[in-house]
């Protein structure tokens, strides 16, 4: 009796823990435990339920999902969806299949959608939800990249598919996020949020694809009793279907191995395989259990687990101020690659694993791709949560976000939150340092190599670490060092532009520098009233410039930067009438100016004339595409008029000297 009481107490504990993890994963797009840990706890609960003969209310082993929390309208599914039973053993798959044939396909990791067509038209799209009630997302499904709006079949059709965002699109979306926005964690989370948007325009921008995996109902369709035939029929109607193949007990192991070998090269996320009986009628005759249909089973990759030791935890600050922990451990071979690090996601997971330096860990790759910690065998629980930011040194704070503990930097000026400033600083029109991409700069910031602009000129202090970094080496470092040394010489307009002062573009920086004769001291001593006198500089830009240099920290950082560079002498020509007697025509898109009017204004400020069409009186045609076959280019070529780019124009007036 006492043993059963202990079992029931453990079951209650597991119920609460697994349900909390599911809520976090499916409804809040976050993780409080790894998939490995969830599966282990789930299996433990199943064993306890079988041993005790008891299933507690709300048990995740009988509940299909959770109530959807959303403003989207909800609808009950005409054909309820059950989860699939699963195994990680190929031998169990073979035993399950027996002497039957089945269709093996990818189990894609996205958001399941049910599509309904009537009269050949898409009339409804509903998310899986909890398997019984889902959210209506018809408008969003219509902007998926590959969902047919109209099909040839005119009877009622109900099918299921998985909405996914490809890895390539996921990476591109993250790269294009504006400064300050948190990056998406994985394609599944991004897809879930994209499909459930209230504005379908946002959905359309995310490149969502749908891959059909089940024909549920096709009124009056003449389809043979075959799962393969159903896939073929869906393809004939214009649907992209999941990759699949027919197998039997003899060919199944080799087929599983072939799928597994291609995971690393897949552009779409998957978390296993699905085995569906080929004989539809036979599969349906088997019925269901309380939770699982008996005509299909899911296969999850058997995790290759290796032991290693924790050497350090790297705390990486992000643009939002969130500081993410990453475990660094002794190298291990997993799924054919060497692994030395794994994300710990948040402080809650760090605490749950009771980590300490030197602890013996079990690590694996989730879905054979993402390194994770499965278990901490030592559990010394000695790891300290940092009280200062690894980037700026400011105090950190712990936040409770939906039951998940996260660490944040409290400094609004932390460089990690403003990494875009460094990207701007090193860009072509500023210091033009090749080899310092946004990704590289963020790595250097996280490792503490860069705290302010001047630190870029002292990366030689970290030569050994940089050479050892992934993607680097002696040659890459040598090229970077050479680019940095070359960048030490810079014109004054480029220097002012590089600081990223709001409103001060390259052309405005040039106006300011010319007005004060290239004298930095005079420029910095000017007040807002002095700056407004510069033609083309308004009160907002002037105020922004003055405010930047009145900030004590900005001024100190700027002075340190001046100690690393040499400002080139500006041309001493009569700047006010530099373009007098010259006529320019502008065509094509612009890179440095907001629009053609801005460029026209600068030409006229310098004594030149801007015309609308090419004639014999034209001095230069400004076009960034000098090889264009446009009418203006052709006319200029006929008349022997030089065609110059924006960069060549800026060099002409001393901006790029």
User: Residues with catalytic annotation?
Assistant: 107
Angle at 156 between CA 153 and CA 161, to 5 degrees: 85
Cβ atoms 162, 225 nearer than 8 A: no
Where in 318-394 does DSSP place strands (E)? 322-334, 337-343, 360-366, 370-376
Cβ atoms 278, 102 nearer than 8 A: yes
Measured CA to CA, the distance from residue 420 to residue 400 in angstroms comes to 28
Q: Which two tokens stand for residue 487?
A: 């960048």
Cβ atoms 110, 163 nearer than 8 A: yes
Measured CA to CA, the distance from residue 621 to residue 638 in angstroms comes to 12
Cβ atoms 241, 211 nearer than 8 A: yes
Q: Within its chain, how far is the Cα of 79 from the centroid?
A: 35
Cβ atoms 637, 623 nearer than 8 A: no
Q: Which two tokens stand for residue 516?
A: 């004060």
Indicate the pairing of strand 609-611 with strand 322-334.
unpaired
Measured CA to CA, the distance from residue 219 to residue 155 in angstroms comes to 5
Indicate the pairing of strand 306-317 with strand 296-299.
unpaired
Helices 2-27 and 35-52: crossing angle, nearest 10°? Answer: 140
Cβ atoms 605, 536 nearer than 8 A: yes
DSSP secondary structure letter of residue 568: P
Q: How many CB atoms lie within 10 A of CB 196?
A: 17
Which helix (H) or strand (E) covers residue 229, if one does?
A: helix 227-236
Kindly report the length of the chain: 657
Indicate the pairing of strand 244-247 with strand 102-108.
antiparallel
Which residue's structure tokens are 């214009």? Answer: 238
Angle at 11 between CA 10 and CA 17, to 5 degrees: 90
**DSSP per-residue string spanning 230-274:** HHHHHHHTT--B--EEEE-TTTHHHHHHHHHHTGGG-SS-EEEEE
Which residue's structure tokens are 């029931």? Answer: 8
Report which of 169, 115, 195, 120 is spatially closest to residue 147, judged by C-alpha positions.
115
Tell me if residue 86 falls in helix, strand or coil: strand
Which helix (H) or strand (E) covers residue 443, if one does?
A: helix 438-446
Measured CA to CA, the distance from residue 409 to residue 392 in angstroms comes to 9
Measured CA to CA, the distance from residue 562 to residue 571 in angstroms comes to 20
């Amino acid at each position: 009796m006492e043993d059963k009481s202990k079992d029931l107490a453990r079951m209650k504990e597991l119920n609460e823990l697994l349900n909390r993890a599911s809520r976090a994963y499916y409804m809040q797009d976050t993780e409080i435990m790894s998939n490995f840990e969830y599966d282990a706890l789930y299996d433990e609960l199943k064993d306890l339920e079988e041993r005790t003969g008891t299933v507690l209310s709300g048990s995740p082993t009988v509940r299909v999902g959770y109530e959807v929390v959303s403003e989207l309208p909800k609808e009950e599914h005409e054909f309820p969806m059950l989860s699939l039973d699963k195994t990680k053993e190929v031998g169990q798959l073979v035993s399950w299949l027996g002497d039957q044939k089945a269709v093996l396909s990818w189990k894609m990791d996205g958001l399941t959608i049910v599509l309904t067509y009537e009269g050949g038209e898409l009339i409804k799209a509903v998310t899986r939800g909890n398997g019984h009630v889902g959210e209506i997302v018809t408008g969003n499904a219509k902007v998926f990249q590959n969902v047919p709006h109209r099909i040839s079949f005119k009877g009622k059709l109900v099918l299921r598919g998985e909405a996914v965002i490809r890895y390539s699109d996921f990476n591109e979306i993250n790269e294009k996020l504006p400064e300050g926005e948190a990056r998406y964690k994985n394609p599944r989370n991004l897809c879930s949020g994209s499909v459930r948007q209230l504005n379908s325009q946002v959905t359309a921008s995310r490149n969502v694809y749908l891959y059909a995996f089940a024909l549920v109902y096709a009124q009056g369709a003449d389809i043979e009793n075959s799962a393969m035939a159903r896939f073929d029929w869906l393809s004939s109607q214009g649907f992209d279907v999941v990759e699949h193949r027919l197998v039997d007990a003899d060919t199944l192991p080799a087929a599983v191995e072939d799928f597994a070998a291609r995971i690393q090269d897949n552009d779409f996320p998957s978390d296993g395989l699905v085995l569906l009986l080929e004989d539809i009628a036979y599969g349906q005759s088997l019925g269901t259990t309380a939770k699982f249909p008996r005509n299909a089973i899911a296969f999850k990759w058997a995790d290759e687990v290796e032991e290693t030791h924790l050497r350090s935890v790297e705390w990486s600050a992000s643009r939002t101020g969130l500081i993410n922990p990453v475990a660094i451990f002794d190298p291990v071979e997993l799924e054919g690659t060497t692994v030395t690090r794994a994300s710990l996601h948040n402080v809650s997971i760090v605490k749950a694993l009771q980590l300490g330096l030197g602890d013996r860990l079990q690590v694996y790759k989730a879905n054979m791709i993402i390194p994770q910690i499965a278990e901490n065998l030592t559990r010394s629980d000695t790891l300290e949560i940092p009280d200062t930011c690894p980037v700026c040194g400011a105090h950190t704070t712990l936040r409770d976000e939906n039951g998940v503990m996260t660490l944040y930097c409290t400094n609004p000026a932390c460089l990690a939150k403003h990494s875009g400033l460094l990207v701007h600083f090193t860009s072509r029109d500023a210091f033009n340092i090749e080899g310092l991409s946004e990704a590289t700069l963020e790595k250097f910031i996280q490792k503490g190599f860069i705290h302010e602009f001047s630190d870029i000129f002292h990366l030689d202090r970290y030569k050994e670490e940089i050479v050892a970094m992934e993607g680097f080496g002696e040659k890459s470092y040598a090229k970077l060092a050479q680019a940095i040394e070359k960048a030490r010489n810079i014109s004054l307009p480029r220097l002012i532009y590089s600081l990223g002062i709001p409103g001060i573009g390259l052309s405005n920086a040039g106006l300011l520098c010319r007005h004060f004769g290239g004298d930095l001291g005079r420029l910095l001593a000017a007040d807002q009233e002095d700056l407004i006198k510069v033609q083309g500089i308004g009160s907002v830009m002037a105020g922004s410039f003055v405010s930047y240099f009145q900030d004590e920290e900005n001024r100190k950082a700027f002075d340190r930067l001046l100690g690393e560079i040499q400002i080139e002498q500006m041309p001493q020509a009569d700047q006010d009438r530099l373009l007098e007697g010259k006529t320019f025509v502008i065509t094509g898109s612009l890179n440095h100016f907001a629009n053609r009017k801005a460029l026209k204004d600068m030409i006229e400020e310098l004594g030149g004339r801007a015309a609308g069409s090419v004639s014999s009186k034209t001095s230069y045609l400004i076009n960034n595409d000098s090889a264009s076959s446009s009418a203006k280019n052709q006319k200029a070529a006929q008349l022997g008029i030089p065609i110059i780019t924006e960069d060549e124009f800026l060099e002409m007036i001393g901006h790029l000297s």
